[in-house]
A and B are shown apart, each in its own frame.
Chain A
Amino acid sequence: MAQGFLVYVENRNGRIRKGSLEALATARRLADALGRTVDAVIVGDDAAAAQAARFGAHRLFRVAPADVFDARDGVVELLAGLVRQESPAWVVASATAAGKDCLPALAARFERSVIQDATEVAAEGGELLIKRPIYAGKAFEVVKPAGALAFLTLRPNVFPAAEAPAAATVVDHAAAVDPARVRTRVAEVRETAGGKVELTEAAIVVSGGRGIKAAEHYPLIEQLAAAFGGAAGASRAVVDAGWVAHHHQVGQTGKTVSPTLYVAVGISGAIQHLAGMSSSKYIVAINKDPDAPIFKVADYGIVGDLFQVVPLLIEAVRKLKA
């Protein structure tokens, strides 16, 4: 059979990352167009495997967590074994923190670089054409893999996740991981999101800027985000002022988000901020300055005082959702 895709499905404590489901569905769409197949691999239990199996793979390798010592180096070792065994043409993962870390370690073993953070992938003439942002989204490059093996990660929230007509065949796979290759030991994991929607996966993101004036007003942003059922972000000005932790920062030196709706509150729209959110589907700006650059990218703009507008908006959204 022609060589196809190998997709790494990320399972975090029983929850499969949304980006991984998007990667599975994207690989399936491309495989169908190219007449190839999709293999996938998940580390986890039967329930996790059954869930992942619905999203487009033909065959899903299930690996017991103990086999990979619950560590990144173990996952890399597992994937390297599968690449040698199955000789895929394309190895795909979601560009999550873990995906962007695992794939380069894997690619290095095959003397390759990774095509990171793709935002579009098309099948053309039996090959893949991959588009990715460069210079923080100020431009895009379209690349074509060279050689018989390519590694790519897909930006979360950009590609649709869809269930396939038939579930994958689940195959229990014993990973022969050499413990000596597990070099980095994870001593502790601390969850800071506290069960909230992760910024990069949220369908709706509400971010606050310097216009909120003080740390004690950031809850206004959180309340609006909660009303929408989304996540709360911030501009760098807010992070630098110490009003909120850095993991909320959106922009060139923060997170890149591509939600369906991005609401910028009291944010001027500096180029470095736009870099992190301009691929959002809809953008709403609330700013008292009609000349703020954020209005140039906003689909809907409200010129007004956020301290008046946001409380009304929270109420209106809650009412509509009730």
Chain B
Amino acid sequence: MKIGVCIKKVPDTETRIRIAPDGRQVSLEGVSFIISPYDEFAIEAALQLKEKAGQGEVVVIAVGDEDTGKVMRNALAMGADRAVLVTDPAVVEAEPYDVARILAAVARKEGVELLLFGKQGVGQDYQQVPTLTAELLGWPAAAVVVGLDVAGGELTATREIDGGEEVDRLSLPAVVSAQKGLNTPRYASLKGIMAAKKKTIETHALAALGLAPLAQRSWEVVRLEMPPARAAGRLIDGEPEAQVKQLVELLHTEAKVL
């Protein structure tokens, strides 16, 4: 089975966010990039499915820039067979729908039977590229998946839903987005890292996929804001009994939550 894994480059989660001088973008100068943490569960799932089947190919796919190519090497080092990067001046700051139609075009061109994603890209946190892509492909989809099995051309996915779990059955080809708990992503071995260095990142522009730039954007960014600073809180002193008494009093009379 040929499995595609869509991965996104994101700033390290420790990154301090600053707003760029134009007030409409985040300044990512000097930031170090990683593969979005959820995407690592998707890569691991693909590698395990390939190992279990004893055959197949794992292709990592991204829409991005030069830095994206660098983080794709980490996926190759984990064991992915190939990397396909779509980069084009027309997709700078691409919105989710744009990313999805490009990923759908790559999935079709590659002829993948299963397309895996992370459940959300930490960063913009749009939580929609997997579902948008599935819809564009006309494939069944299961989002936020914590259990996955493929047998006899059918996929069984256990999804996390509010207050419970749902078991879905999907025929292939299908789209799945990975949630934490699906597996424990492996570390790249030294051998994997060396092998990844020799591989090429296959790079395409939009036109090579038969796509024109997106005609209509869904929104316009008006401005970015930093979160409002929380007013300095109050430390409650005293012995535990006195502290608890005062806290309950404050919750009752000041915060009015009790």
Contact = CB atoms under 8 A, between A and B. Distances in A.
Interface of A: 73, 76, 96-98, 100-101, 103-105, 107-109, 111-117, 129-131, 133-147, 150-151, 183-193, 198, 200-201, 203-204, 228, 246-247, 249, 252-254, 260-261, 271-272, 278, 281-285, 290, 295-305, 308-309, 312-313, 316-317, 320-321
A312 B248 CA distance: 11
Chain A residues touching B, majority SS:
mixed
Given A247-B160, A302-B243, 19 more contacts: A76-B135, A100-B143, A101-B144, A107-B128, A108-B97, A112-B97, A113-B218, A142-B222, A145-B218, A146-B220, A189-B167, A190-B165, A192-B164, A198-B162, A203-B257, A271-B13, A284-B251, A300-B234, A317-B258
Contact of A146 (B128, B135, B141, B216): B216
A288 B252 CA distance: 24
Contacts of A111: 97, 216
Contacts of A101: 131, 143-144
Interface of B: 11, 13-17, 19, 26, 37-38, 95-98, 100, 122-128, 131-132, 134-136, 138-144, 146, 156, 160-171, 179-181, 216-227, 230-231, 233-237, 240-241, 243-245, 247-248, 250-252, 255, 257-258
Contacts of A290: 235
B169 A185 contact: yes
A222 B181 CA distance: 22
Contacts of A316: 244-245, 248
Given A139-B26, A312-B241, A100 B128 contact: yes
29 contacts: A104-B96, A105-B135, A105-B141, A111-B97, A113-B128, A113-B219, A117-B127, A135-B122, A139-B26, A139-B224, A144-B222, A145-B218, A146-B216, A146-B219, A147-B216, A147-B218, A185-B170, A193-B163, A198-B162, A246-B181, A252-B13, A253-B122, A260-B257, A284-B247, A299-B230, A299-B233, A312-B240, A313-B248, A320-B252
Given A144-B222, A312-B241, A190 B233 contact: no
Nearest to A230: B257
A108 B218 contact: no
Contacts of B225: 131, 139-142
A253 B37 contact: yes
A133 B125 contact: yes
A313 B247 CA distance: 9
B96 A186 contact: no
B213 to A, nearest CB: 13
A26 B125 CA distance: 23
Contacts of A134: 26, 123-125, 224
A297 B217 CA distance: 37
For the complex of A and B, list the 5 residue pairs with the smallest distance between their C-beta atoms, beginning with the closest. Answer: A108-B135, A183-B140, A104-B128, A193-B163, A104-B131
Contact of A136 (B125, B236, B255): B125
A204 B257 CA distance: 8
Contacts of B142: 184
Contact of B127 (A100, A247, A295): A100
A306 B160 CA distance: 31
Nearest to B156: A187
Contacts of B221: 141-143
B219 A115 contact: yes
